[in-house]
Each structure stands twice: as C-alpha cells, then as structure tokens.
Structure 1
Amino acid sequence: MTRIFNAEYGSAAAQTPLEIVPGLQVRLLRDRAILANVGPDVFYVRAASAGFSIWTSLKQLLKSMRPALNPGYLRHHLQFGEMATHATAWRNVHQLVPNAALTLNAGSWSWRFEPWRQAGCRNGSFEHPAILLKQAIPVSAAPVVLELSGGTDSTAIAYALAGRHDVLAITWADPLAPNASDVEHARRIAGKLGFEHRVAVLSPGALFDLPAQFEPDRPSVSLFMLAERDRLVRNAIDGRTNAMVVNGHGGDHIFLDPPSPVPMLDLLFHGRVREALKYYRTLVEFHGGGVLAPLRYRRVGQGIGRNSLSLTPGKRLHLRLIQQACYENAIWSRLGSRYRLVHPFTCPAMLNYALSIAPHEHVGQRQSRLPFRKAMNDYHQTEDFSRVSKGHLTGAFQRAIQLKEDILAALLKQGIGAEYKMYRVDDMQRALRAAALGSAEIHPQLMNALSLELFMQHWSHLSGVARWRIDS
C-alpha cells in the first residue's frame, strides 16, 4: 500500500507546514488543506467531501479506490490534446507535480504551478542563454546520451555539452528516410563537436505499444512513441544505470514554436492590426483546420493559476505554454525510466529568459525564435542555429497505422469515447482510413482519440478493471 497520508478537513488545524515525506508539505487549516510539493517526486491526491488521501503510486490508488472517470477531462483532451492541469482522467484524483501547490476543501480545489518563480530567479537579470543551458546540465561523471533531433533546441543542448568526452548523440529516424535533412544536420553537429553519433531507426510496428512497467498519468500522443524511444535509449546506455539522458524538450513551448496565436494577440494589443491579421492567416495555413483552428491554443493549460482578465493576453498564453512544457517534463520523466532524464530548457532561469522576449516583436521576419537563434549564432560564431525547417516522423506513424489499422479501428469502435459518445466513431474511422492510405496529415482529433483509448486499455490491464465507469 502506498497511501502515505490521510486527513479530514479541519481535523488538526496547524499553520506550520507538516512535512509528510521529504519534499511534501501539508498545512491543515480550519476549512481547507494546502499541499505544496517542493521536492522532485510526483504525488497523487484523492479528494472526498470529508477529507483527502495522498499516494505515491497511481497504480495502487486506482487498484484500491477504483474511482469513476472524469468526463470533463476526457472531453477536453479529445478536443485540445495534451494540457497541463491538476485534474486527471479519474474523478477527484489530482496530480501534485514538483513546484506545485494544491488547495483542497470540501467543495472545491485550486492549483498553483509557476516554475519560473523558483527561488534564486529574478526577472530582468539574465545570463546569456548559452550559459544558462550549460548551467542547467548537471556536472557528473555519468555517461551522457543526447537526443539530437537536428532542430534548434537539441543543437543548442549539443553545444552546451561541447568539451565532454562521454557523449553519445542519438537521432530518431523514419525507416524510409534515414538520411533526411534533419538527420544529416544532427550527424554534422555531432561530428563537429566530437560526439559519437548513432541513427536510431524507429520500428513502426512497435509504435502504439505501451510497456507494462510504465504508469502514465494521462492520455497523450507522446504515449505512442514511449516504448520505442525507451528501447532505443536503453540500447544506447547498454545497461548502465547511472546514465544521464538529455534532450531539448520544452524549447518549442517556451519560444512559441510551432506557431501559436500568442504573437497575434500581442500585435493586436500594440495596435498593429494589419500585421496581426496577416499573421493569423499564416496560422490558419499552418494548422490546416479552418479559420478557427489556431484558437484551440487559447485553451492550452486551462485550469492553471488564477482565472482573471489580462491586459496582455499574449503574455498570459505564453505563461500557459511554458507551464505545459514544465508539466510534461515533470510527468514523463517519472514513468518508470531506468535512467536520469534532464530537460535544460525548462530550468527556471531559461524560462525567465524566454519570458523576457516580447512575442510579437519579430513576427514576419521568416524565422521563429529569432532572438534566441541570433544570440546562439553570435555566441558560438556559427550559423548552425539558422535552420528553420526540420523533418518529422509522420511517415513512421502512417506506417504504424497501416500495420495496425484493424486493431485501432476496433479500439475506436469499442472504446470509452465511443461508449460515452465523446466522439463520432464514423468520423474517427474515416480519419484512420485516410492516415492508413498515406494522407499528408494525420487528423489531430484522431490522435487524441487513439491516445485516450490506448491509455484506458493500458490502465484496465494494470488495474484488473474490465471497464471504467463515468458515474460514481
């Protein structure tokens, strides 16, 4: 049993925080409880009308309590995909990630998660981003595996590791495009910096598989590649338990890439209406889902922090995107990996640097995150950070869908989403067929629906529950 604390609201009022386990503090007040996680672990909190319990294992919580499903969370996931929130797929079960605080009472709850406000970080005073990245990677004798995609973020991490002699760079590749431009760029960067480099070719047949030892907290498209990525990393570290795996995950969020409506909102705020409309048109073309498609990003991170009006809506959305990146890293780093994961872009100092850049100032200059690219090129006296386009792994996922089309079609037809009419089965089946036939773009709602059904199937197997319930 991994329940570590149980209390009723107001049962033992104490203003002084009580440390339950290292890093987890609880304050019990007259009508509420305040939980703060200042450590490195993730905790799970089950709230009830009379009190709450805290768990270290989601698997054990679900086996013991078998909570009902949270339909609001699931519907939001199907519409908007991954999101940062204290809620989970199960009703009245909350996540408490590092650097977050959760306030509970008998009828409501709220969550605070602002990682850029950690102690020691001050707005307005920054080191160079190249220095910040280098400082964010722990100095240790452990061998380093660098996930080097060939994009701006992983290239920046590669330069931050320059001078180390124990770095193995790995680049994921589509089996039908092992020499794509981003792979070739990654190979060149690794050679320039003196790193050993391997091209790790994905196996489409292994995508959509979830390893039994993983205990994911929520549906996510990231689940689709989790088993294959873990296998390739473990092959690279060759059984060494002290290995450190470093990647640039989070940079696309903190520097507003892929395109989001953040710059458009700030352009409007600064009265640059013509530029805002032109930029929004480029967003519609990028997302390819109609004129309202870019507005789906307005809901990213819903439920974080205080709900209030903002005179700078672009900056508020930027904060939510940063929260999303930090949240993802906090969760995905703790799914049973047998190695240490480091995400330098979401260290507090880098977050504050990203927040210092006005989102709208460089719109229309044909390079996203221009201030960061320019700063890195100038610092390292190179043009390696000037690349804009990068290949992707859509082809590998299309072949995975081709190989498993019948299985995935049955999953969509018989799954939780279909049973509770969260999506139209016919629409999902058409989108699945189009992807199997090689459509240029896989429908995002299909990917969200598949992630939901695979997630619920995985937890049914882990918990021994034939069918999770919506009603309590």
Structure 2
Amino acid sequence: MSKRENTNQTPTHNATETSKKETVYTNPASSSQIIFVNTLTGELATNSDLNKNPLKKLDREVTLSQIAYSERIPMSSYWENFSLLPPGCRYTYNHSSHSGKLEIDLFNTKKETTDTPLEILTSSISSRCKTNYYKRLVVRLSGGVDSTCILLSAIEAVGADRVTAITWLDEKSSANADLKAATALCEKLNISHLLFKFEPWYFFQEINLEDHISISVSMASNKVFEKEIEFISSKINGDFIILDGHGGDHLFLDPVPPAAYQSLLREKKIIKAAKAFSMFSKLSGLSFYEALISSYKQRNHDNYQRSQFFTRHITPPPAIERPRSLKEEYLQAIAQAIYQNTTHSNISTDILYPFTSKGMIEYALSQDPYDMFDNYNTRLPLRRAANAKYPNIELRRDKGHITSAYQKALKYHSNHIIDRLESSWLTQEKLINISHIKKAIRYSSMGFGGADQTLIKIACAALIKI
C-alpha cells in the first residue's frame, strides 16, 4: 500500500466486547488505513502484518465475485479467511459462527460548521503544509469543478509561486476538453502547468499480489501513476505533495442517484418525489421513461455480461445493507470515497485527497443530501462558494473521460492479455467463457462498446503474479 503520509493520523482501531459471542471493531474515518479481520479467529491484522503471513492464500471464489460484481464498500479481500475493515466502518465479529457484518460508522464524525466547502479545502491543505513547508504542491487539474476548487484553495493556502498544476493528456479523447479548460485556467491564474501524456503501454502491466487487497479496475493503471511521478520529478526540483480531487463527486452526489426519488416514492411522499424526479431527469438528460428504467436497464446489462463472461453463476460478495433512503445512499457514498482514497495508489509519495479530509467529511455529514443539486447543477454548495469568492472564474459543467485510453491500452496489450488469460486458472478451471472474452477484448480495442469494467477486471486478474 501507499507510504504517503496521513493527514489526520489517529489510532487505527478499537475493539469493544459486546458479549462473549461478539466483538465490535471500529476503524476511524481519519485512520487512512485498511485493517484485516481473520474470519477464523477474529484477530486483527494490518496490511503490513498480512504481507508477513506465510499462510495467506488467494481465495479464488471470492476473487471471482470481486471480478463479477462491483462492491461499493468492499468487506472482502482476495486473501482466504481475511475480511476488510475500511476507514469509517465498524465490523461486528460473531465468534460462534465465525462471521462478520460490516456497517458504516461515520455518525460520531458529524460536526456542525459554518465554513464553506472552499474554506474547508483551504484549511485542510494549509494544515498539511504547516509540517511540509519545504514541499511544492502539484494539483492534478482536469479543469472540472473539483480540481479547479482544489487549485484555488492551494493558491490561497500557500501562494501561487509554490503551486504547479498537472493535466493528463490523452490524444483524440474527450480528455482534450480537460486540456483546454485547464490550460485556460492556469494562464488566467499565472500558474505553472505540466502536461502529462500517458501512453497505452503504461496500462495493464503485470501485478504483484502485495500491491493490492482486492480486484479493482484501478489495477490496470498502476504504471500510469509511477510514470506520472517520474515525469513530475523530472520537472520539479525538490520534494512535492500531490493534491488529488477524487472524492468530490461522492461528497456532492454527482451523478445524482435514483434513490433521490425512489426512496420518496416508497415513503409515499408523492410531491417531493415528483420534484426530485424532475431534477434527476433534467440533470441526467433522460426522458421521464428513460429515467424511470435506468437502474433496471443497468442491472439487466450487468446480469447479461456475467452470463456471457462466466460459465456458471457467481455468488455476490458480502456487502453492507442496501440503502433505503438518499441519506443512507449519501453515507455510503462518503464511506466509499474514504475507502477508495485510502487504497487508490501504491506509489511511495505524498498524496493528499482534500475532499476526504476530516473537515470535509464533517461538513458532508451535516448536510441534507437534497441540497447537493437542483434542476440545472450538481455540487451546489461547492459551486456557490467558488462563485461567491471567485466570480471571474468559470466553473465547468462537464468533464472529460479517459475511456478511449483504456480502449487503446486493450488494443496495445490484447495479445499479451489473451495469452495470460488462456494460461490462467480462470481458463484452466473453465470458469470463464474465453472465446466470448477474447471477442469482447477485440471489440473494445476497436472502440466499440466502451471499456467494460468487468472485462478490465478479468484482464487484471489474469495479470496477477500468482
């Protein structure tokens, strides 16, 4: 895992004996560490402890479920008999059944504040820089709302002369919109601007088991982040901290989930549901009918992909309870952002994720999720704060994507990935439909159908050194 410094380091966990049969473990939201629970003994271990364990073994059934399904907040690692306890969660372990239940534990983090999101971002960056004054700040700048606000906050915190922006460049993709927006912003603010062009061969490298804890799409881009660090180091003298805007979409519910109107319908709050549904429809650009069936269509697509890629039914991984309201959906989104930023990179450098700083989490927990959007905009509190303080800075409504980068990478690596797949345990044990997967890789590499997440995870699983 990453060796980066933690913004708000606190004791990693505590345990409470609720009875002779159960123990409740909690992992504070600000711990920035993943903890493992041995499901046979109930004992805890950190990631470094687990790496020293000579008895750890890849759990193939759990690995299959991680490939086939998307876990919002994972509780399963791909190690046999080890479950995850992410930050901001609690895990109740039953000693009789040797089973556990994962739940969100963010309520104690709640704290009322009158500060705006922009002020909180600036404060979190300032507090980090007090102990790292000698370091330069490098902002990953897409030109979208989140990265723009982090750039403005970084300038406010340490001054423009200590801030550099870096924009990822992917030719012939919508990420070029990022380039135009980011370049214009840096010119306006007189900020040093680096352009990092990531190549197809940076993706889908061989993967060391110890570098990850479960199967995820991010495994495909390990090398990209290594190359980014090398590039920055070649351009900047001395140490630096990278500021990353990941998590902003979670904390401000963008895109707006269907739960915004579905939960109100279940509660028979018809007028409020109609208003929320109207906002959802306008924001998503979907007709009323398309908006109503969007979740249903996605579930059908996912089920179809599983039936095509796998030769048998795959059991879903254990998961936290499905949210019953937008408030519960919001809590899960916040916890997911904390988890992803904890496990996002295994690069040994300082990375700060201001949107999951302690102050921002406290702010988000004090908000009504329905205040995050209206008929025309998402991220309303952040937009309003930025517009009020920087009226001359235009905040972008859209953002670029790097789907085409994954497609080009699949094309570049297709023969190697297919060779690895054909010799992998997935094929040898006849768990996947290799002919269909080969066809899907060829299709995706030609630009058809996008870069399916399940397909990328299958490729990553084949590239793991076992």
CA distance in 2, matches of 1:338, 1:361: 38
Which one-letter code corresponds to 2:357 in the other structure? C
| Residues 175 and 400 in structure 2, CA contact (< 8 A), matched pair in contact too | no
Distance 1:214 1:46, change over 3 A: closer
Match of 1:380 among 377, 386, 390: 390
How many aligned positions are there? 422
Which one-letter code corresponds to 1:353 in the other structure? Y
Which one-letter code corresponds to 2:141 in the other structure? L
How far off its partner does 1:168 sit? Answer: 1.7
| Residues 116 and 348 in structure 1, CA contact (< 8 A), matched pair in contact too | no
Distance 1:113 1:417, change over 3 A: farther
Which one-letter code corresponds to 1:65 in the other structure? L
Aligned to 2:122: 134
SS in 2 for 1:441: coil
Question: Does 2:58 align with 1:65?
Answer: no
Aligned to 2:459: 450
Q: Which moved more, 1:199-208 or 1:443-452?
A: 443-452
Give the TM-score normalised by the residue count of structure 2. Answer: 0.78
Match of 1:203 among 192, 199, 202: 199
How far off its partner does 1:181 sit? Answer: 2.0
| Residues 168 and 197 in structure 1, CA contact (< 8 A), matched pair in contact too | yes
Deviations 1:161-206 (A, max 9, x none): 1124222211111044598221121122223333211110001111
Deviations 1:325-376 (A, max 9, x none): 110111225x2x2211111111233234345554456767232223432332
Deviations 1:32-57 (A, max 9, x none): 44444454443333231x55352442
Question: Does 2:241 align with 1:244?
Answer: yes
Map 1:288-303 → 2, pairs under 5 A: 291-293=296-298, 303=319
Deviations 1:266-321 (A, max 9, x none): 55354145563873882996999884317999xx99734xx4884xx222112111
Match of 1:395 among 392, 404, 407: 404
Which one-letter code corresponds to 2:69 in the other structure? Q
SS in 2 for 1:161: helix
SS in 2 for 1:349: helix
How far off its partner does 1:113 sit? Answer: 3.9
How far off its partner does 1:379 sit? Answer: 2.4
SS in 2 for 1:292: helix
Match of 2:164 among 165, 168, 187: 168
Aligned to 2:224: 228
Aligned to 1:346: 356
Which one-letter code corresponds to 2:270 in the other structure? G
Q: Which moved more, 1:221-230 or 1:258-267?
A: 258-267
| Residues 260 and 294 in structure 1, CA contact (< 8 A), matched pair in contact too | no
| Residues 24 and 37 in structure 1, CA contact (< 8 A), matched pair in contact too | yes
Gaps of at least 5 residues in structure 2 are: 1-9, 303-315
Aligned to 1:85: 74
Aligned to 2:331: 319
CA distance in 2, matches of 1:451, 1:286: 33
Give the TM-score normalised by the residue count of structure 1. Answer: 0.77
Distance 1:449 1:291, change over 3 A: same
Which one-letter code corresponds to 1:392 in the other structure? H
Match of 1:428 among 417, 422, 437: 437
Which fold has the larger relative contact order, with Cα–Cα distance below 8 Å and residues 6 or more apart in sequence?
Answer: 2
Map 1:268-283 → 2, pairs under 5 A: 268=265, 269=267, 270-272=269-271, 276=277, 279=281, 282=286
| Residues 417 and 423 in structure 1, CA contact (< 8 A), matched pair in contact too | yes
CA distance in 2, matches of 1:355, 1:295: 33
Aligned to 1:332: 344
CA distance in 2, matches of 1:382, 1:301: 48
Deviations 1:101-127 (A, max 9, x none): 433333222334434633xx414x331
Which one-letter code corresponds to 1:42 in the other structure? I
Distance 1:452 1:259, change over 3 A: farther
| Residues 77 and 448 in structure 1, CA contact (< 8 A), matched pair in contact too | yes
Match of 2:39 among 47, 61, 65: 47
Distance 1:367 1:129, change over 3 A: same
Distance 1:53 1:178, change over 3 A: closer
CA distance in 2, matches of 1:242, 1:411: 38
CA distance in 2, matches of 1:391, 1:286: 23
Which one-letter code corresponds to 1:204 in the other structure? P
Aligned to 1:190: 186
Which one-letter code corresponds to 2:43 in the other structure? F
CA distance in 2, matches of 1:71, 1:112: 23
CA-based RMSD: 3.7
Match of 1:370 among 372, 380, 384: 380
How far off its partner does 1:130 sit? Answer: 0.8
Which one-letter code corresponds to 2:286 in the other structure? T
Aligned to 1:261: 258
SS in 1 for 2:286: helix
Deviations 1:88-110 (A, max 9, x none): 12232123344444333332223
Match of 1:117 among 102, 108, 117: 108
Q: Which moved more, 1:388-397 or 1:128-137?
A: 388-397
Which one-letter code corresponds to 1:406 in the other structure? N
Deviations 1:400-423 (A, max 9, x none): 111111222233444444456655
Aligned to 1:5: none
Larger proportion of helix? 2
Percent identity of equivalent pairs: 23
Question: Does 2:448 align with 1:439?
Answer: yes
